[in-house]
Structure 1
């Protein structure tokens, strides 16, 4: 591919240079990833549910199901549920209306290549609180059985979310061709498949609603919490009431709902992440935001519905302590970073000045590793799985996937920072040599 600038009206557009390199093995790789990552979400359900005969089932059982599914030409009809689709559409509309109507601080994002900034209404915590209040009120008035519909219609919800992700990515790709669109530096190759997957436009919007930011923090994250509550209600129904819900279920739901609440409370921090500042919004992010977050992160709670586990008290306490320690690492390190970026330094942390006029932290959590928040985040994900025991690898899918994702992000971040800071980044890595785990990696 030749290195040439994209043109608009016959003039070189210096703001939107043509992307000359590929990630993820290019168009073919992104095509394969698009299909396989969508299929994985269904595979995690069909490979581990109340009727699977094992989690995952035996190889013979898997082959038998595949053969019977091929012979049964109507198998695909089970993936669609009109009622679940309407529920999902209503949920998405609720999130949009909450963003539009609920109060919130107006926060400016990072400086764009145009020199301007986008403004974001930060009312995610209110959205989360309203959704949680409505769910709890329904359960209180109508009983736990009134909130089991997400568990009962799981596959239909997955399909509705997947179709939404596809439509959203397609809309954003098509709208990115309008005059004046600011494109992502890595999503303007000219290849339809690749740009659709990576995301061609940096901040696609409808009016003042930034679609990338909104989908990153609202529909999927909040739905994850609602799904877990539905799983808890389903176990309560099956076991004769909330008083019989297992301590493993309470731990998983408490850990993950708290995690979502924390994300909503510190919502402005997402504006400095690579997803928002660098990546375009295409199928990669829309699938992750709308499908993977709510439907793969909640595997543990769904598993505990049909495989209830009552933990011994010492085990439950140990898991709780590990989660609290992991959260402390995650939140305290993020607070150090966010304070420093906002011109505050309450801990008097040391830093390395750069030729760009910016500063790189080299003490506190950020003196121990380049990404201490990744370590805390991953350890939390592990504690979500430990309450499910060790009877299946399925419930440990997320921390395995998350480890790969974090390693990939660390590599991308290292490349971006080396390009951005040059020799200063080399000096920084001498000061802080460990990438994620202090003294190990």
Structure 2
């Protein structure tokens, strides 16, 4: 290759992959902090809220007891479980095989900076149906006691998922230095700690197999459902059969399973989210998808295994109503957005047109707030915690964390929109002043 051609290629690469000049998460120190605290928090939510530890929280937990445990080599060895690691590896391999084997439509993603569009195979929902069919058959043949191993091997499975996240984060970071890789605009800072965490490459793929979208919807989300089923099996064993599973366990599990069903059934909707279109794939998304989602979001059913609660008809109806309200807002808002992006406006909702020619809804759900879908998500998250009662604030960790996450996402999204639309964004914000919850935030 001639020197002039090499310079041209290098210039083209620099134009497509400019250096990141603005940090998120307070830069490398913040990225390192989150990298360390996400696994620590996942373990802490188990050891601070479990039957094995003595309660939620354990009654005798002290600083001295924590220091003593962390100083004991046997405690650290207890985090590893070879059988659980093999189970997790087998589960991940099953999800990969299902992606390749099961049929599915191929759908275009959004236009990338290269002017091209990636193709995504849509078969997450059928993957879940296959997994549930095999699980149901296994439990039907061998009984509920055969599927309690997730509850019994919790710590080992968490460790295996964290290890998988680290391996993927490091692998994707190393692979992002190959020629021609399209980098995320926010992940090319040059700092290895930050770029490993935030994700340097936008869409790491092996052929048509896109690692980011695969992890977003398959191994973690479907495992979340299997975890809930395992918690129900554990409670059924303790209480003498399926008929004796508490209404609180049915509620918490049903809400979460339905949420996953809905997300996987509407799989193409994820292709327009910030995770897919903007963020790189690094340790942040890997550990979020593979560890945080299944093992933190399922805290309520795990709690209800050893703190069994009967709610009664009135409380059950009230909690269902809260969840339905959240779902209606979430799904209706997303439906309006997706219709509008596809050139449909069946209710003739008002909108403003920016100088770029982009149209922004200012009526309907999107006239009430800039992120009404986040409001629906938060209401559902609150409903998932209500079946646990008010015995401990720990079971409300999810909704608290989720509020912080969604506010952070809202701030990132608003910042990107301000860069994109300029003065039109300020005009839009005056027309739609509330960020998530009308009259509150």
SS at match of 1:49: coil
Cα offset for 1:203? 0.5
SS at match of 2:14: strand
Structure 1 segment 54-203 matched on structure 2, within 5 A: 54-58=55-59, 61-203=61-203
For 1:171 and 1:70, the matched residues in 2 are separated by 30
Count of aligned pairs between the two proteins: 435
Structure 1 segment 230-379 matched on structure 2, within 5 A: 230-379=230-379
Cα offset for 1:325? 1.2
For 1:41 and 1:8, the matched residues in 2 are separated by 44
For 1:10 and 1:426, the matched residues in 2 are separated by 35
For 1:396 and 1:133, the matched residues in 2 are separated by 31
For 2:120 and 2:279, the matched residues in 1 are separated by 18
Please, what TM-score do these two structures have when normalized by structure 1? 0.96
* Corresponding position of 1:3: none
* More deviation, 402-411/66-75: 66-75
User: Compared with structure 1, are the counterparts of its residues 138 and 20 closer, same or farther at alpha carbon in structure 2 (3 Å cutoff)?
Assistant: same
* Corresponding position of 1:14: 15
Cα offset for 1:7? 10
Please, which runs of 5 or more residues in structure 1 have no aligned partner?
1-5
Cα offset for 1:135? 1.0
In the alignment, structure 1 residue 25 sits paired with structure 2 residue 26: yes
Cα offset for 1:343? 1.5
For 1:354 and 1:72, the matched residues in 2 are separated by 61
* Corresponding position of 2:4: none
| Contact 1:84/1:153 (<8 A) preserved | yes
Please, what TM-score do these two structures have when normalized by structure 2? 0.96
For 2:13 and 2:242, the matched residues in 1 are separated by 64
SS at match of 1:268: helix
Cα offset for 1:61? 2.0
Cα offset for 1:57? 2.5
Cα offset for 1:264? 0.3
| Contact 1:204/1:210 (<8 A) preserved | yes
For 2:254 and 2:70, the matched residues in 1 are separated by 40
Q: Which runs of 4+ in 1 moved over 4 A?
A: 6-12
Spell out, residue by residue over 1:139-185, the C-alpha distance to the aligned partner (whole angstroms, 9 max, x if none). Answer: 11111011111111000100000000000010000000000000001
Spell out, residue by residue over 1:203-227, the C-alpha distance to the aligned partner (whole angstroms, 9 max, x if none). Answer: 0111111111111111111110010
Cα offset for 1:10? 7.5
Cα offset for 1:36? 1.0
| Contact 2:70/2:76 (<8 A) preserved | no
| Contact 1:7/1:13 (<8 A) preserved | no
Cα offset for 1:345? 1.5
| Contact 2:326/2:377 (<8 A) preserved | yes
SS at match of 2:287: helix
Cα offset for 1:11? 7.0
SS at match of 2:96: helix
Cα offset for 1:347? 1.8
| Contact 2:13/2:180 (<8 A) preserved | no
For 1:380 and 1:88, the matched residues in 2 are separated by 29
Spell out, residue by residue over 1:361-409, the C-alpha distance to the aligned partner (whole angstroms, 9 max, x if none). Answer: 1111111110000000011011110000111111111000000000101
| Contact 1:183/1:200 (<8 A) preserved | yes
For 1:31 and 1:11, the matched residues in 2 are separated by 32
Cα offset for 1:93? 0.9
* Corresponding position of 2:3: none
For 2:246 and 2:331, the matched residues in 1 are separated by 28
| Contact 2:327/2:377 (<8 A) preserved | yes
Cα offset for 1:416? 0.2
SS at match of 2:106: strand
* More deviation, 427-436/46-55: 46-55
Cα offset for 1:64? 3.9
SS at match of 1:79: coil
* Corresponding position of 1:42: 43
* Corresponding position of 1:52: 53
* More deviation, 94-103/49-58: 49-58
User: Compared with structure 1, are the counterparts of its residues 141 and 161 closer, same or farther at alpha carbon in structure 2 (3 Å cutoff)?
Assistant: same
